[in-house]
Amino acid sequence: MLKSMMFEIERDAPELFARVRSTVFRTWNKPTIISDFVLRWALAHGFAQTIEHSHLYIATGQSLETQSLKRFKKLFGRLDFFCINDTTDDAEDSDPRLLQIHQMLSALLPLASQCELANGVIPPIHALPTNAAS
């Protein structure tokens, strides 16, 4: 983001910036502007361009069809990015949908990354047995 561009956007839409600054937490009538408005403004004014990327989105709250997980496994390593969005809302750690995702990711990514290691300790979710859900 260019600072000069943000100043220009604020000159164009001061009311949006004022609404966002009026509260610490976002609400439906005071939404964030960076993730939506600024990007659209930048596209419309030639500061940004759309680039197509290979991607896959999985929502854990939906029943996870075997087909979608097979597709993810098939495309893994060839996607530019993927998003696994936890939409289970208050699900227990033993929820079959979460266990299914955990098993799949554990198989695809068996080694913890540097950011997962805190003082050499792997976070608790990795302690789940990989065969807990059948």
Query: Do residues 76 and 101 make contact, with C-beta atoms less than 8 angstroms apart?
Result: no
CB 75 within 8 A of CB 56: yes
Average pLDDT of the residues in 102-110: 90
Check whether 133 has a pLDDT greater than 50: no
Model pLDDT, residue 131? 47
Q: Using pLDDT thresholds of 50, 70 and 90, give the confidence band for residue 121.
A: low
Cα separation of 28 and 45, whole Å?
26
Which single residue is written with the structure tokens 């993927």? 82
Q: Provide the β-strand partners of residue 55.
A: 81
Residue 86: is its pLDDT beyond 90? Answer: no
pLDDT, one tens digit per residue, over 34-69 is 878 898 999 999 999 999 999 998 888 776 666 788
120 contacts: CB under 8 Å, gap ≥ 6: none
Is pLDDT above 80 for 28?
Answer: no
More confident site: 127 or 119: 119
Q: Can you give the pLDDT at residue 51?
A: 92
